[in-house]
Structure 1
Amino acid sequence: MSSAAIDLQGVACTFVSKDAPGQRYTAVEGVDLQVQAGEFVSVVGPTGCGKSTLLNVAAGLLEPSKGSARIFGEPLTGINTRAGYMFQSESLMPWRTGIQNVMAGLQFRGVPERQAREQADDWLRRVGLGGFGDRYPHQMSGGMRKRTSLAQTLVLDPDIILMDEPFSALDIQTRQLMENEVLQLWAEKKKAVLFITHDLDEAIAMSDRVVVMSAGPASRPIGDFAIDIPRPRDVAEVKTTPRFLELHAAIWAVLRDEVLKGYQQQLRKVA
């Protein structure tokens, strides 16, 4: 039996269509996907190919219509308590300061106030926000809010980190800083990471493996590429190396047609 941190076998997810009431839509079908302990895996694919659906299955937020999800060899039932989830959208509570947001998960787990504050303060320092814990989200820049969200996720010391396009809204300079920050923190404890992104450059620069999804409906993995670029990596510098360019060309050769299919599907929906 697999002891992978995340093991999806034959997963399919079917929903009632929003566009045609009474009809059903299969987002993903026949998905086999494993993430080993300590492995950083990115999933790329066209818009609407079910990337976030797979992340929600791994988080226990969505039960698959078919197939199974196992976490470290155990069947996943309900919320995945061994995972931390960093969302694409803002997840900070606006009425709480930065340190109060980072403390929240610990408090929900019953950690005493003083201990929770000390751990939250430590993580704010580790993500470069020491001394900014008293700011409310509206007083922070986009990059500061993302750093706070990262601390909020990692303070719980999850065995698995799930990330859904967490940096897509940031400017390129802040994004690269955050990507390097995540790689540095990941290297310290080597948690299992499942990372969803539309950015192929980002996926290659950060990952051990890149999984390519087909265009939907019934999206499935159609490529699995090992990223054999030495670590540690700087996400800006690594993009100029010959091996990065070779990998990019190989993955894009698989991904390009699926992106075009996804684009044509979006046009038909608009029409």
Structure 2
Amino acid sequence: MTPALALDNITCTFISKDDRSQRYTAVADSTLHIAPGEFVSVVGPTGCGKSTLLNVGAGLLEPSSGQVRVFGEPLSGINRRAGYMFQSDALMPWRSALQNVIAGLQFRGVGEAAARSQGEEWLARVGLQGFGDRYPHQLSGGMRKRVALAQTLILDPDIILMDEPFSALDIQTRQLMENEVLELWNASKKAVLFITHDLDEAIAMSDRVVVLSAGPATRPIGEFRVDLPRPRDVAEIRMHPRFVELHAQIWNVLREEVLKGYQQQKIKA
């Protein structure tokens, strides 16, 4: 099967603006393939390059070497077949929830009436029916995330890129949002590349978990198939014996890299 998103031998090296002789390689010779309909999570130490790989897949960052392919075609520029849900709120504060949701449709030239109809439908899907006239500052953190989710999915992307989208939420709201995403994903089966620091979240949501090494020059060092039954409730699945087994296996690989990353952060500080 042709991957929905293929990152092959990706290296990303950044050059200092002040001293061009200083270079930092964030990602080195990394290969990662996401199949159509597959939910893949990437975990790794803080600052190891997870978001760098995501930005390469989105076409927001051109790698120093390697190739990105989208459904078999080389990627040049922005990945038009992908939707990106950011870690921080990316809502426009001067637009209402509905206006934020339909912004992408308007940019594509969809008529106002059709865009508003689709926007109302998506607000209902994410549990925000009747909140379309509220502005971001009038919404809770969880509600803003629901707006951002609708804003991403209304464009019907073939690939969904998510960069720690729920990290700022309290645990109860976070689990509600995780289940919301799984329900929507199960209905459409898009390819998902999900970046997270939370190993529990990665296992509970994914078909596959990829572990990255500590930076610099991060690369995949472990890959685990999550053979837990679907559909899943992210709270209940944590009590499944296989979940506990997978958590122990992945943590055995991840623990040393987290300690390396922690020591590097201490040295920088």
Please report the TM-score for the alignment, with normalisation by the length of structure 1. Answer: 0.98
Letter in 1 for 2:127: G
- Aligned-residue sequence identity (percent) comes to 75
Gaps of 5+ in 1: none
2:210 corresponds to 1:211: yes
**Residues of 1 paired with 2:127 and 2:251: CA distance?**
34
**Residues of 1 paired with 2:199 and 2:192: CA distance?**
16
**Residues of 1 paired with 2:14 and 2:132: CA distance?**
41
**Residues of 1 paired with 2:182 and 2:268: CA distance?**
38
- The C-alpha deviation readout for 1:9-38, integer Å capped at 9, x for no partner, is 100000024897641000000101000000
Equivalent pairs, count = 269
Give the CA deviation at 1:252: 0.1
**Residues of 2 paired with 1:164 and 1:82: CA distance?**
17
**Residues of 2 paired with 1:97 and 1:202: CA distance?**
30
**Matched residue SS, 1:91:** coil
Letter in 1 for 2:33: Q
- The C-alpha deviation readout for 1:144-171, integer Å capped at 9, x for no partner, is 0000000000000000000000000000
What corresponds to 2:50 in structure 1? 51
2:38 corresponds to 1:32: no
What corresponds to 2:76 in structure 1? 77
**Residues of 1 paired with 2:90 and 2:140: CA distance?**
14
Letter in 1 for 2:218: S
**Residues of 2 paired with 1:134 and 1:196: CA distance?**
31
**Residues of 1 paired with 2:17 and 2:185: CA distance?**
38
Letter in 1 for 2:177: M
- The C-alpha deviation readout for 1:183-236, integer Å capped at 9, x for no partner, is 000000100000000000000000000000000000000001000000000000
- Superposed, 1:1-271 pairs within 5 Å as 3-17=2-16, 22-270=21-269
- The C-alpha deviation readout for 1:68-109, integer Å capped at 9, x for no partner, is 000000000000000000000110000000000001000000
- The C-alpha deviation readout for 1:21-64, integer Å capped at 9, x for no partner, is 64100000010100000000000000111000000000000010
**Residues of 1 paired with 2:94 and 2:17: CA distance?**
34
**Matched residue SS, 2:102:** helix
**Matched residue SS, 2:222:** strand
Letter in 2 for 1:234: D
Give the CA deviation at 1:3: 1.8
Letter in 2 for 1:246: E
**Matched residue SS, 1:125:** helix
**Residues of 2 paired with 1:203 and 1:77: CA distance?**
29
**Residues of 1 paired with 2:20 and 2:140: CA distance?**
41
Please report the TM-score for the alignment, with normalisation by the length of structure 2. Answer: 0.98
CA 1:228–1:18: 2 relative to 1, 3 Å = farther
**Matched residue SS, 1:248:** helix
RMSD: 1.1
